[in-house]
Amino acid sequence: MTLRADVPLIFERSTPGRRGYRLPELDVPETPLEELIPQEYLRTEPPALPEVSELEVVRHYTQLPRRNHGVDVGFYPLGSCTMKYNPRVHEDLVSLPGLSAIHPYQPEETVQGALELIYNLSEHLAAIAGLAKTSLQPAAGAHGELSGLMVIKAYHNHRGEGHRTEMLVPDSAHGTNPASCAMVGYKVVEVPSNERGGVDVEALKKLVGPNTAGLMLTNPNTLGLFDENICQIAQIVHEAGGLLYYDGANANAIMGVVRPGDTGFDVVHFNLHKTFSTPHGGGGPGAGPIVVSEKLAPFLPGPVVQKDGDQFRLVMPEHSVGRVRSFYGNFLVYAKAYAYILSHGPQGLREVSATAVLNANYVMNKLKDVFELPYERICMHEFVLSGSHLKKYGVRTLDLAKRLSDYGFHAPTVYFPLIVDEAIMIEPTETEAKSTLDEFIEVMRQIAEEAKENPEMLTSAPHNTPVKRVDEARAARHPVLRWKPEASGEQ
């Protein structure tokens, strides 16, 4: 890890008159600009662009990412986010012209291969979910939730049960779950967790009723725990006339091991940009496909690809909730997921999950004597510790997170899930070697020691990074997200 703390962060490098290029003398008659562009569109003054040499530009863009943390730089155990390594070969693959140079307005018969890819990927995801039909349309996890809930709503409405407007959501849920409910106009009914970190079944029985539209669940949940009562939970919700929604944003523990459909779920969304090999984190394109049971298939967002003989066609499902995205979604993300699934095969995907679970349990067991482990159980692909015992030294989980940067590790997810005080949510993923996990364990133990001996070291961290501790409130309220020329006075 080479974080260059010694190099000062000089961002503004413009010097009047400096150039990165020079065009050759014009050897054809010059056409006046006004003849090419209408007068009203012409600038009266040149834009205030930085004046820099080519080398300075190259250095600038080479330095910037070196000041950042990414999975290519070091361990990234950001719980719930599955910051695994994504094979580089997939980037080569999606730059093939047959995939990257096609256009959504092309006639169907000229893009049969692309449609076949969409069709096959839909089938594979349905097999992994243990459900019938897929729509690849949604562009992200939260978008998948929204689309899945729209499908549930359309189904109830179609049956004349539009009064079902209550969605049950456990208190451990990802924040997007209640938010998505609100977006479709559902009332969120919070379900408490039991002492084992799962759904409190007795409380659930009291909360279901004639207005229940369904239950949204993540299983394993955000504590990294598999709910052992899932079949009973499904029965309770189904008997009340509700449907089960599976937040499968993070399916890294279950592929080839458990099919959500077999445990009673009616709708599943996956995040291709978490589990299925699309890098994420910078807000880049993702995909949050949904898979549903046979009875919900007519309501899926469209278009979806249908196979007629050896032809692939785009069709709108009979009672479709409509389009949720332009064209056919983020096609190149599909191509990466398809390559990932094919190259692993069923056994390989199962191994991905097994290794992710093994790695998480290994790290958990090596840390549970120095951090509190609120739920002492075998975890799935992630686990949640509590840093509440550090408070007596004046140290918060946030300080620990900052201190980890000094050692070249990205922080785990902190303060989530909300039901654990000073939560530290760690997801190692399957792509990390044991030696990396051991280094992380060592550093976490060392930081726990530092908290006792030298709490100031943590509360003033990070010390070795190019940017020291930021004022988070100010960063959130007054973010500076783009470069503006100093002289322009532009707001």
Shortest separation between residue 383's beta carbon and ligand PLP, angstroms: 14
142 lies in the binding site for ligand PLP (CB under 6 A): yes
Task: Please say which residue, 174 or 325, places its beta carbon nearer to ligand PLP.
Answer: 174
169 lies in the binding site for ligand PLP (CB under 6 A): no
460: its two tokens = 């003033």
249 lies in the binding site for ligand PLP (CB under 6 A): yes
Shortest separation between residue 275's beta carbon and ligand PLP, angstroms: 10
Across 228-347, where does the E strand assignment appear?
243-248, 267-270, 290-292, 304-308, 311-315
Task: Please say which residue, 172 or 293, places its beta carbon nearer to ligand PLP.
Answer: 172
Shortest separation between residue 31's beta carbon and ligand PLP, angstroms: 49
Task: Give residue 184's region: left, alpha or beta (phi > 0; psi -120 to 50).
Answer: alpha
141 lies in the binding site for ligand PLP (CB under 6 A): yes
Task: Please say which residue, 175 or 345, places its beta carbon nearer to ligand PLP.
Answer: 175
3-state secondary structure of 383: strand
181 lies in the binding site for ligand PLP (CB under 6 A): no
Q: Which of 134, 137, 176, 193 lies at the binding interface for ligand PLP (CB under 6 A)? A: 176
Count interface residues toward ligand PLP (CB under 6 A). Answer: 13
140 lies in the binding site for ligand PLP (CB under 6 A): yes
Site string for ligand PLP, 258-287 (x = CB under 6 A): -------------x--------------x-
DSSP character at residue 30: P
Shortest separation between residue 180's beta carbon and ligand PLP, angstroms: 9
Helix axes 397-406, 434-453, angle to 10 degrees: 120
Shortest separation between residue 217's beta carbon and ligand PLP, angstroms: 10
80 lies in the binding site for ligand PLP (CB under 6 A): yes
Question: What whole-number distance in Å separates Cα of residue 442 and Cα of residue 385?
Answer: 16
- For residue 288, CA distances in Å to 154, 186, 276, 281 come to 19, 21, 11, 15
Residue nearest to ligand PLP (CB): 141
- Torsion (CA) 274, 280, 284, 285 in degrees, nearest 10: -20
Classify each residue of 278-317 as buried b or exposed e, where b means 16 or more C-beta atoms within 10 Å of its C-beta.
Answer: bbbeeeeebbbbbbbbeebbbbbbbbbbeeeeeebeeeeb
277, 431 contact by CB (below 8 A) = no
Q: In this structure, which amino acid lies at residue 348?
A: G
Q: Which of 279, 288, 303, 387 lies at the binding interface for ligand PLP (CB under 6 A)? A: 288
335 lies in the binding site for ligand PLP (CB under 6 A): no
Q: In this structure, which amino acid lies at residue 262?
A: D
Shortest separation between residue 384's beta carbon and ligand PLP, angstroms: 13
Q: Which residues bind ligand PLP (CB under 6 A)?
A: 80, 140-142, 174, 176, 218, 247, 249-250, 271, 286, 288
